[in-house]
């Protein structure tokens, strides 16, 4: 019997460890890039609405009074000390002072449009944390943010952006910790699905099948596929492909590597296959990948 031929392909030995190490939440959020714009405090007279731009995302912290939050499904309220994360901007929501004047600290930012787009879309448009859930960290961070926002020293814009990044990540981590998960973050909190996510993240080169991932999770194929899609917001193989492409984009932007090297490093068999997948997802060829944005 003829023995199968040896694979003589020469694959680049690129170090992916720094891109896939750490806990799962850190790995995902490291790819969900955002740019902080500004931080300001504001006073709202009774019934006055907060002016929010549709194209921006926001963190709003109620420092005094109460807010009424009106949205398509009805309304909610937020009390002093509560935090609101508007992941996709106001999108028809209106925040207004309730039962008297209110005071807020507002952080304005935007997500990188190429940054795990479908996962961001799958997140709730409004995440609310109570004062009790943030009492161990929020007040100190907000005080520091306001100091930096009012300090016009060199580097203050970068400091503000990084601090907003910290607030958003801490908000999502707190939200997961308290079990308030109804989107892809739920996959990180689910023991079985998180095992499959870890397998995808730990070895992005490996083209795992749904059966292999289901075995890792300890579930039947159909139950695994259904639960993964329900929690993560997309099927397992689509998530795997988007994760690989997002890692590839970061490598192209930061490391000055050749397209073919990057494609092989994240598991594509050829440069052509990688280029097609990359262009289909990001809307431009990998050769046109933009360098990482830098704040001035």
Q: pLDDT tens digits, residue range 235-255?
A: 999 888 888 888 888 788 766
Say yes or no to pLDDT of 9 above 50.
no
Rg (Cα) of the chain, in Å, rounded? 22
Does 22 have pLDDT greater than 50?
no
* Per-residue pLDDT at 141: 87
Question: Residue 41 pLDDT more than 80?
Answer: yes
Count CA atoms within 13 Å of residue 296 on its CB side.
Answer: 0
pLDDT of residue 15: 46
Q: Helices (DSSP H) in the chain: which residue ranges?
A: 17-20, 24-31, 117-122, 131-134, 138-149, 156-177, 185-189, 191-202, 210-217, 221-232, 236-255, 259-265, 271-282
Distances (CA, A) of 81 to 86, 133, 153, 232: 16, 10, 29, 30
Answer yes or no: is pLDDT of 11 > 50: no
Placement of tokens 């040896």 in the chain: 6
Domains located in the chain, CATH noted: 33-177 (2.60.120.280), 190-288 (1.10.10.60)
Give residue-wise pLDDT tens across range 169-214.
888 888 877 665 555 566 776 778 888 988 888 788 888 899 999 9
Q: Phi first, then psi: give them for residue 99, nearest 5 degrees.
A: 60, 40
Query: How far is CA 92 from its chain centroid?
Result: 22
Average confidence (pLDDT) over 279-291: 80
| pLDDT score for 111 | 75
pLDDT reported for residue 136: 86
Q: How confident is the model at residue 122, as a pLDDT?
A: 58
DSSP for residue 4: P
CA 215 to chain centre: 27
Task: Give the pLDDT score at 223.
Answer: 95
Q: What is the mean pLDDT of the chain?
A: 79
Q: Quick one: pLDDT at residue 251?
A: 81
């Amino acid at each position: 019997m003829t023995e199968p031929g040896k694979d003589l392909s020469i694959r680049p030995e690129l170090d992916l460890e720094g891109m896939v190490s750490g806990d799962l939440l850190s790995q995902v959020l490291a790819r969900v890039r955002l740019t902080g714009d500004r931080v300001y405090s504001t006073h709202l007279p009774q019934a006055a609405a907060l002016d929010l731009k549709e194209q921006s995302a926001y963190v709003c912290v109620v420092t005094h009074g109460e807010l009424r939050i009106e949205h398509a499904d009805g309304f909610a309220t937020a009390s002093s000390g509560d935090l609101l994360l508007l992941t996709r901007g106001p999108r028809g929501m209106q925040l207004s002072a309730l039962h008297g004047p209110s005071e807020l600290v507002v952080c304005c930012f935007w997500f990188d449009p190429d940054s795990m787009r479908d996962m961001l879309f799958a997140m709730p448009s409004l995440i609310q944390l109570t004062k009790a859930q943030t009492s161990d960290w929020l007040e100190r961070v907000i005080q520091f943010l306001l100091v930096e926002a009012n300090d016009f020293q060199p580097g203050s814009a970068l400091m503000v952006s990084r601090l907003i990044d910290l607030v958003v990540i801490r908000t999502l981590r707190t939200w997961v910790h308290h079990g308030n998960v109804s989107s892809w973050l739920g996959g990180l909190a689910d023991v079985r699905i998180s095992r499959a996510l870890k397998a995808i993240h730990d070895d992005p080169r490996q083209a795992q099948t749904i059966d292999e991932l289901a075995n890792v999770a300890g579930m039947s194929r159909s139950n695994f596929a259904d639960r993964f899609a329900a929690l993560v917001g997309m099927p397992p193989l689509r998530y795997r492909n988007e994760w690989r492409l997002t890692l590839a984009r970061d490598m192209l932007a930061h490391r000055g590597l050749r397209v073919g090297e990057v494609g092989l490093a994240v598991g594509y068999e050829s440069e052509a296959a990688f280029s097609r997948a990359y262009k289909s997802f990001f809307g431009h060829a990998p050769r046109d990948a933009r360098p990482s944005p830098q704040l001035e």
